[in-house]
Amino acid sequence: MIRRLLALVILLATAFIGLARSTESLPVSPSYRGDIRRGADGQLLVQEPPEPARAGTQGAARPATMRVGITEKISTITEAAKQARDGEVIEIRPGDYRGQPAIWTQNNLVIRGVGARPVMIADGKSAEGKAIWVVRGGNVRIENIEFRGARVTSGNGAGIRFERGQLVVHRCAFVDNEMGILTANFPELTLEISDSEFAAAAHNQGDLHHLLYVGAIGHLVLTGSRFEQGYLGHLVKSRARENDVRYNFLVDGPEGRSSYELEFPNGGIAYVVGNVIGQSAGTDNPVLVAYGAEGRRWPDNALFLAHNTLVNDLHAGTFLKVWDENFPDGAETWVINNLTVGYGDLFVPAQGRFEGNRWAERRDLLGYGGLPLRLNTASPLRGAARIPGQARGVDLLPAAEFIFPVGSRAIHPGNSLAPGAFQ
């Protein structure tokens, strides 16, 4: 009996040691790559987290190599821009930085505000007569900075003038400038903006001030950002060859007097998905979204407008207008699963798709961010939309939605879809 018990103890100990060794050799858990869901063709695919969610982590772990602030060795932004070297991580302490324009020419910079958002106040000064900051570095990332009061002789004073390379702007604010961000016209440029605020365009009679004015660059990505209180100019104007505009809140507000809320004057490729776009009663132009008004610039032209909520506070208007006559070869236009609120016309394309678009009365919607935007749970429009599919390999089903006052959060729409930006 004792021998049997001893043998059993030895057997159990051997098994335990083997299990421990096998546990130690288990493979490392895979990193998160996104959610698995079924695409329009029925195939499984990986849906990556939306860009704003990933953008906040880039560069965040890198330690600062320069600190700027009143108590630091380098106390002004102007001096920091002169001393910066390629690859620097520059941290700016909280506070108001008045009359300190800067020209950033270095490559691979990360410039970030720490703590309470530091404010760059023009105070009558500018870099090269253009902007508070001029960015000409090859690869620059700017985080958590506010830009205010840009004014220059030409009337195009910008918070940031972007002239070369790739620029990423994350969690920044642009208030009371002649232009929030203004870019050059080079097709090799890429601009990415996420989780940022643009507001209060300058009130100069006779001048058109856009909160965001993107020139003829290669690529614009705009996500999770809020625009309000335009004046005569547009909230967003882009001449880019390719545009990806998702999960934003482009709403002029009761005090706003913007012209178009979103314009692509020269066509190009534009994916406009999951946005709230709202026109005020005081607008000087009844069109919310405009495409091709100034004629063709790019060889390939297509607009994909899907799952947006379009709100018109004017007594009449046009939710979408496409100037087909400016595209002799045609401009492909898809208008799918949008929700319109208020009165106006929604453009029906001569070529493309027009389906799943619905109109709702204000009384049938729940308020969000000061507007009637969300369908109530009993709305018959819930489940009225079908999966929009893909356009040129890009999914038109929203993977996120705007969260007020700024930013976006991931969503996982089921098969019972609703029109508009919110599921």
CB-facing half-sphere around the CA of 328: CA atoms within 13 A: 2
Long-range pairs, 24-31, Cβ under 8 A, ≥24: none
For 209, the token pair is 């001030």
For 72, the token pair is 């630091």
Q: What is the pLDDT of residue 11?
A: 41
Distance CA 88, CA 106 (A): 9
State yes or no: pLDDT of 183 exceeds 60: yes
* Span 354-375, average pLDDT: 94
Element (H, E) at 146: strand 146-148
| Domain topology for 65-410 | Pectate Lyase C-like (2.160.20)
Query: Distance of alpha carbon 19 from its chain centroid, rounded?
Result: 50
Beta bridge partners of 299: none
Lowest mean pLDDT among 42-51, 355-364, 379-388, 399-408: 42-51
Q: How far is CA 274 from CA 142, 307, 322, 364, in A?
A: 25, 5, 19, 20
* Cβ proximity of 228 and 205 under 8 Å: no
* Cβ proximity of 324 and 330 under 8 Å: yes
For 49, the token pair is 């987290």
Q: What is the pLDDT of residue 393?
A: 96
Query: Distance of alpha carbon 143 from its chain centroid, rounded?
Result: 14
**Structure confidence by residue, pLDDT tens digits, 31-69:** 333 433 333 344 434 444 434 334 334 445 688 899 999
* Cβ proximity of 225 and 197 under 8 Å: yes
Q: Please confirm whether the linkage preceding 405 is cis (ω < 30° from 0).
A: yes
Query: Can you state the percent helix, strand and coil of the chain, rounding each to 5?
Result: 10, 40, 50
State yes or no: pLDDT of 135 exceeds 50: yes
Residue keyed to tokens 């969610």: 53
Nearest by Cα to 192 from 265, 245, 230: 245
Q: In the structure, what pLDDT confidence band is assigned to residue 396 with cuts at 50, 70 and 90?
A: very high
Distance CA 182, CA 233 (A): 13
Q: How many CB atoms lie within 10 A of CB 412?
A: 10
For 1, the token pair is 């009996």
Tell me 260's DSSP state. Answer: -
**Structure confidence by residue, pLDDT tens digits, 289-298:** 999 999 999 9
Distance CA 293, CA 335 (A): 18
CB-facing half-sphere around the CA of 289: CA atoms within 13 A: 29
Between CA 389 and CA 391, with CA 390 as vertex, the angle to 5 degrees is 135
Q: Please confirm whether the linkage preceding 63 is cis (ω < 30° from 0).
A: no
Q: In the structure, what pLDDT confidence band is assigned to residue 106 with cuts at 50, 70 and 90?
A: very high
* Cβ proximity of 295 and 331 under 8 Å: no
> Do you know the residue count of the chain?
423
Tell me 343's DSSP state. Answer: S
**pTM here?**
0.85
